[in-house]
Structure 1
Amino acid sequence: MAVLVGRRALLQVFRVQTIDRERLCRFIASLSCSKQYVFSEKVSPSFRLNSHGAVTRHYSSDTKDDLRVRYLDGEDAGIVVVGLNRPKAKNAISKNLVKMMSEAMHDIKNNNKVRSVILCSMVPGIFCAGADLKERAKMHQNEVASFVSKARALITDLGNLPIPTIAAIDGAALGGGLEMALACDIRIASTTAKLGLVETKLAIIPGAGGTQRLPRVIGISLAKELIFAARVLDGTEAFRVGLVSHAVEQNKSGDAAYLRALELAREINSQGPIAVRMAKLAINQGMEVDLSTGLAIEEACYAQVIPTKDRLEGLAAFKEKRQPLYKGE
């Protein structure tokens, strides 16, 4: 069973005045069977090493280069870099890109060797310009509804990944591009990046979670102002209002946010992977309920790390004054 399940299923269990902690612990345990965290040493044949030694997944598509997924190796093993790569379309979200990203999310979700994900752009000066309006102009009205539904499902899948996700924003993240970044746990932007939900300029509204995730990140009043006015912020302003966790000066190669994201992913990599997953589960689900229920969720998630080999390894490493070697067991 997946580590993260739908909000409704959780709320059905948690929406009670008196928390049955034994029932809650059993439920959390069903989400995190210990065998799920045993990291396989095998690499799927559909991956191949690139010239930099990282593992790259190539998806079967007429435009297979629209998305590049690299599974880093060596000391960075466990970090997956998902790179948007539509230079002629400013990484605009097309039907093909949605399909490829959905496949990538499925692969990442089911690969227990993954410890963190960086979402970035392979195109200098741009993160994602939002929906591919040229493609959309050719769609029938019924096709538009179907496309938006699939794009929304993709971004929901990104938000529901059980491991930490970091959006590295080295350029413009507008409309659906910012919605994609909002679904990530952490956002890092260059000071020259541009961020905004600009859909009202086109007489529509954000349709892939923007009206829900932005208020949760920066507050209701300010989110309304930004969406109503279709305002665009630079990286420094985005940091000031709490839209991004870090704003970094852009470098000559145009990848300052990515490099900072990589540093953070390396920090996360050295921690206990089961603990990190349980912490994300406890935080995400706890934010959707009252404090008392949230504390019960935390207690149930904590119970899942007690019987792990990693916990014993952490204690042994502390006692022996050495770095722990966590295996996700």
Structure 2
Amino acid sequence: MLVTHSISRPLSLHTTRICRYLCTNESSSKLSLSSIRSRLSKFKGGEVTLTSSGANKNIALINVSNPRHKNAFTGSMCISLYDCIHELAGDTTWKAVIVRGLDRMFCSGADLNMARQIADSESGEQFSYFMQTTLSNLRNLPLPSFALLQGNVLGGGAELAVACDLTIAHPNTSIYFIQAKMGIVPGWGGATHLVNKVGYHRALQILLSADRVSSGRAHSIGLVDHLLNLPQNCDASLSDDKLLEKSLDIIDNQFAQLPVEVVRAAKSVAINASQLAYSDSISHERYIFKSLWGGPANLEALESNLKHVK
């Protein structure tokens, strides 16, 4: 059985990277994360935990669990997710992070019982601001993030998935950007991340239809990056441990041999290239290149003539 290890580290004193927003709403400057946290804390239930896995225990796991409500996010879970990401941002030992839902399902978005109690415009803006900040921090983590998908991925769950750098999916995965049928649009940054992932026209089709996107179609359009290779017509869900084991195999095949600092550097240059102006991006790339050139990993590769080894 695959064993994961709980983490009891105190929250890092380092602050998370400041997220960049293009916002024309003047009230955004008056929004307070601390006051929103206080209000969200009243909506209890479920949990989001941070554990570790992988051969060297340097793959972080963010575990979403609220099985009675299909892993929907309560207010306390939103706060825990924010805190888990905050902790990851301040620790340089992590190589990657996997976001997963427990009990064979990823996430069904916001808890409807909570949603009914904050169904006014001001509360909606506050909730959106908190979750946009949280998922932008996830996106901007200095390490690659993977969403591990199985079963139905609904609403805010789909937004959580596309906020990650890469997605790994069981063939039985179905993704629903169902917000339009709820009379809203994505509010956690999901539309922005979806457009970045699949392009404007496909994203608009997905948002307007609010219909199911199968794992096969999601893979063909780039919404899913890795589709698990399971026996044909295998729709049966995998246990949480087995699904994690298969996802770790994919991650290991990608960069198991790379040092942590090289993996994190690759994430840094890629995320900055996607967000910064050209001149700023190449300046940042040169800075990161300089930090690695002549380092232990680079010298070892030069000594072994690795570039020409097939």
TM-score (norm. length: structure 2)? 0.77
Q: Unaligned 5+ residue runs, structure 1?
A: 9-59, 321-329
Supply the AA of the counterpart residue of 2:265: M
In 2 relative to 1, CA 133–301 (structure 1 residues): closer, same or farther, beyond 3 Å? same
Whether contact under 8 Å (1:170, 1:254) holds in the other structure is no
Confirm whether residue 136 of structure 1 aligns to residue 115 of structure 2. yes
In 2 relative to 1, CA 228–140 (structure 1 residues): closer, same or farther, beyond 3 Å? closer
Match of 1:282 in 2: 269
Note the C-alpha offset of 1:188: 0.9
Q: 1:259 aligns with which of 241, 245, 267?
A: 245
Supply the AA of the counterpart residue of 2:101: S
Match of 1:72 in 2: 53
Q: Provide the alpha-carbon RMSD of the alignment.
A: 2.8
**CA deviation digits over 1:241-297, x for unaligned, max 9?**
110112223555345653332113334343122122121111111123455654443
Match of 1:189 in 2: 169
**Structure 2 Cα separation of the partners of residues 65 and 92 of structure 1:** 8
In 2 relative to 1, CA 7–154 (structure 1 residues): closer, same or farther, beyond 3 Å? closer
**Structure 1 Cα separation of the partners of residues 252 and 17 of structure 2:** 23
**Structure 2 Cα separation of the partners of residues 3 and 96 of structure 1:** 20
Whether contact under 8 Å (1:69, 1:82) holds in the other structure is yes
Q: 2:293 aligns with which of 302, 306, 317?
A: 306
After superposition, where does 1:96-115 map in structure 2 within 5 Å?
Answer: 96-115=76-95
Q: Unaligned 5+ residue runs, structure 2?
A: 1-13, 22-40
Q: 2:258 aligns with which of 258, 263, 271?
A: 271
Identity of aligned residues (%): 23
Supply the AA of the counterpart residue of 2:238: S
Supply the AA of the counterpart residue of 1:121: G
- Larger relative contact order (C-alpha < 8 A, sep ≥ 6)? 1
**Structure 2 Cα separation of the partners of residues 274 and 61 of structure 1:** 40
Q: 2:137 aligns with which of 150, 157, 165?
A: 157
- What secondary structure is seen at the aligned counterpart in 2 of 1:287? helix
Match of 2:217 in 1: 237
Match of 1:32 in 2: none
- What secondary structure is seen at the aligned counterpart in 2 of 1:76? coil
**CA deviation digits over 1:37-72, x for unaligned, max 9?**
xxxxxxxxxxxxxxxxxxxxxxx9996861232122
Note the C-alpha offset of 1:122: 0.9
Whether contact under 8 Å (2:46, 2:77) holds in the other structure is no
Whether contact under 8 Å (2:19, 2:137) holds in the other structure is no
Whether contact under 8 Å (1:79, 1:265) holds in the other structure is no
**CA deviation digits over 1:135-180, x for unaligned, max 9?**
1102262333322221111111111110011111012111111111
Confirm whether residue 172 of structure 1 aligns to residue 157 of structure 2. no
**Structure 2 Cα separation of the partners of residues 221 and 232 of structure 1:** 17
Supply the AA of the counterpart residue of 1:299: R
